[in-house]
Structure 1
Amino acid sequence: MVTAVVHESILDDVEALLHAAGDDDRHRPDVNLLGVDDKASGADLASADAAIRWDLDDEGFQRLLDSATGLRWLHSPAAGVERWPLDELVKRNITLTNGAGVFAIPIAEWVLTTMLTAVKGTYAVRQAQQEHRWAPDIPADELYGKSVLVLGSGGIGREVINRAAAFGMRIWAANRKGSPVHNAERTVRGEAWRDLLCEADFIVSTLPLTAETERMIGAAELQRCKPGAWLVNVGRGATIDEDALVHQLREGTLGGAALDAWTTEPLPADHPAWSLPNMIVSPHMSGNSPAGRDRGLRLFVDNLQRFATDRPMTNVVDLSVGY
């Protein structure tokens, strides 16, 4: 019997999904769901073998770690795990899985929306409408034939690439191993992505935050970008040097930027990005979708079945690299 801690806010949904999964005799899970709230005591949590950190606050999560000495698996609903105590999980041999890919579809759609906004003169059209001004000569372009460099080819990166391919874009992908990516005409590894900056019309970052990726896109990289290029970030905010980006948008030749993640969130009211005409400031909402919750719960329940029946789980985080 596996005891899994879930927050009361999702208990009924997890129970329903597990009940439906129980119709499959091959993988019938033997699971005891322990519904808790943020005030659950250490004694309440002590028997946990597994837990999902969904709606569980920091104090509740720390009590879980301190009390559940037999904990073997934790699940992060989000893809990013840079704030998790990875070293402690390594020492205790606790497996960590994450929600990578759960929000990939809405995020990829947001990326394409910003790219279309950049080439179609959307803001200028809206401004003309507000001024009651007929402006048929507003400059516009097309995505067809444009080049996009996608940094990171996990779930989000692949969904971006698939949608960019539908628009007839030239697609280059960059990942840690240089592994080929479907619909990308070229894939590079290591530092080779920097050599493509001078050719890419769009640079889309989907990168996690690690010691290697922190401020990976800085002044030197931005200066190498093709004049008029756009930078789109749906990875972690701290992967970009925001001061250098603001400077390039003001003084350099970068065409524009669309950021959905920021080093400091909420973005301070006095941050210069708010006032830049060629900057799209998005409040970390690109993944918003009613379908995201269902996908996230189904992923967790699928892994819970796997955990309870000693089968390999999906979305296992490599604790040595942080994603």
Structure 2
Amino acid sequence: MGKRKIVITQNIEQNLIDQIKEIIPDWNIITGKDKEIWQNHLSDAEIIAGWKKGIEKECLAPNSKLKWLQTWSAGVNSLPLELLESRNITVTSANGVHAYPISETIFSFMLGLTRKVHTYLRNQQARKWDHSGMKLEMHKKTVGIIGVGSIGRETAKIAKAFGMKVLGVRHSGRQQVFVDEMYTTNQLNEILPRCDYVVVTLPLTKETHRLFCSEQFDLMKPTAFFINIGRGEIVHEEALIHALREGIIAGAGLDVFEREPLSVDSPLWEMENVIITPHTSGSTEHYNQRVIENILIPNLLDYLSGKQPSVNLVDFLKGY
């Protein structure tokens, strides 16, 4: 009988590999981002960390040994969840890894739009000394955080340092620290007219697909800013563009889009009230370390003891 095998489809630091080896010294550990490194190991890998497009043929074949998939991203909407569920394959996500970098991006959007940093950068490039109508400040304003998971919680925590009123929306409506008022998703429209900033941190599911359409933007203040770091498909992009063009909302900070990369023809590129980042809000120097030490290793210890991995276990019914 051959060695048990784990495939990690990422380039990870040697000290992280060593930590894994200490736990499973008798296993064959395959690591590397290059497809040629792990392609021939997929069908007999018991654990795969890092889903890659096109690997389902080997991973979900009748003779596959796959028991547990640990994703390298928080979102799992791109996975064949129904097939994975039908094969009784446990799936855990990298949810929680992004709380610090994404919350920093959220506030860079909020502060940038409020204090016109994006406008002044354009002025700088044009060597133009201009006040540009600067007048807003963020302190004491109201932020609506749509999706109070790990990212939403960290965002709420930082918001309190600005003396902000925090309204939260989550599926359960369960109260959360640093959130002044919590609501369910069904109550979303009730809070939108109260928000100076609307921050979307939701995963993409059947329920959240195009949760924000013309109706939601029409409910927002004309002075409100919209921030989306969740998934692009949560927003009807044409409705957002219309709201930005017509002054229905004041501006937007966008890291995600309905189609990525964002088309060069998209009017969003040229809008002076929009800040765009290329789906990089979760990027951080500590990414691999957090996935391995905070998620993979605790889950691996569960798995080896005969338990189901418990950190970020994906609920197939909910889709996240």
> Stretches of 4+ moved more than 6 A in 1?
40-43
- Is the 2:144–2:199 Cα contact (8 Å) retained in structure 1? yes
Change (3 A) 1:136 1:96: same
How many Å apart are 1:286 and its aligned residue?
1.1
Q: Determine the structure 2 residue equivalent to 1:319.
A: 316
Q: Aligned equivalents of 1:122 and 1:215: distance in 2?
A: 29
Determine which of 66, 70, 85 is the counterpart of 2:80.
85
Q: Aligned equivalents of 1:16 and 1:277: distance in 2?
A: 49
Q: Which moved more, 1:313-322 or 1:67-76?
A: 67-76
Asked if 1:105 is matched to 2:88, the reply is no
Determine which of 41, 48, 68 is the counterpart of 1:73.
68
Asked if 1:300 is matched to 2:257, the reply is no
Give the aligned residue type for 1:5. V
SS at match of 2:216: helix
How many Å apart are 1:322 and its aligned residue?
0.8
Q: Which moved more, 1:2-11 or 1:303-312?
A: 2-11
Q: Identity rate of aligned residues, in percent? A: 31
Asked if 1:310 is matched to 2:309, the reply is no
Provide, for residues 30-81 of structure 1, a one-character-per-residue CA deviation record: whole Å limited to 9, x for no partner: 6513316524788744432211126xx4334431222653322101110111
Q: Aligned equivalents of 1:11 and 1:50: distance in 2?
A: 19
Asked if 1:15 is matched to 2:17, the reply is yes
Asked if 1:115 is matched to 2:117, the reply is no
Q: Aligned equivalents of 1:43 and 1:229: distance in 2?
A: 52
Determine which of 255, 261, 276 is the counterpart of 2:256.
261
Q: Aligned equivalents of 2:72 and 2:242: distance in 1?
A: 35
Give the aligned residue type for 1:313. S
Q: Aligned equivalents of 2:117 and 2:37: distance in 1?
A: 50
Give the aligned residue type for 1:4. I
Q: Determine the structure 2 residue equivalent to 1:289.
A: 284
Q: Aligned equivalents of 2:195 and 2:164: distance in 1?
A: 11
How many Å apart are 1:136 and its aligned residue?
5.5
Give the aligned residue type for 2:318. V
- Is the 2:251–2:274 Cα contact (8 Å) retained in structure 1? yes
Give the aligned residue type for 1:50. I
Q: Determine the structure 2 residue equivalent to 1:173.
A: 168
- Is the 2:141–2:164 Cα contact (8 Å) retained in structure 1? yes
- Is the 1:197–1:224 Cα contact (8 Å) retained in structure 2? yes
For these two proteins, the number of residue pairs brought into alignment is 314
Normalising by the residue count of structure 1, what TM-score does the alignment of the two structures yield? 0.89
- Is the 1:41–1:63 Cα contact (8 Å) retained in structure 2? no
Q: Determine the structure 1 residue equivalent to 2:267.
A: 272
Normalising by the residue count of structure 2, what TM-score does the alignment of the two structures yield? 0.90
Q: Determine the structure 1 residue equivalent to 2:245.
A: 250
Change (3 A) 1:31 1:246: farther
Q: Aligned equivalents of 2:57 and 2:191: distance in 1?
A: 44
- Is the 2:7–2:41 Cα contact (8 Å) retained in structure 1? no
SS at match of 2:280: coil
Q: Determine the structure 1 residue equivalent to 2:49.
A: 52
Change (3 A) 1:137 1:212: closer
Pairwise CA RMSD of aligned residues?
2.3
Change (3 A) 1:47 1:123: closer
Q: Aligned equivalents of 2:194 and 2:253: distance in 1?
A: 19
How many Å apart are 1:6 and its aligned residue?
2.2
- Is the 1:102–1:296 Cα contact (8 Å) retained in structure 2? yes
Determine which of 5, 8, 17 is the counterpart of 2:7.
5
- Is the 1:40–1:60 Cα contact (8 Å) retained in structure 2? no
Consecutive unaligned residues of structure 1, counting only runs of 5 or more, are 23-27
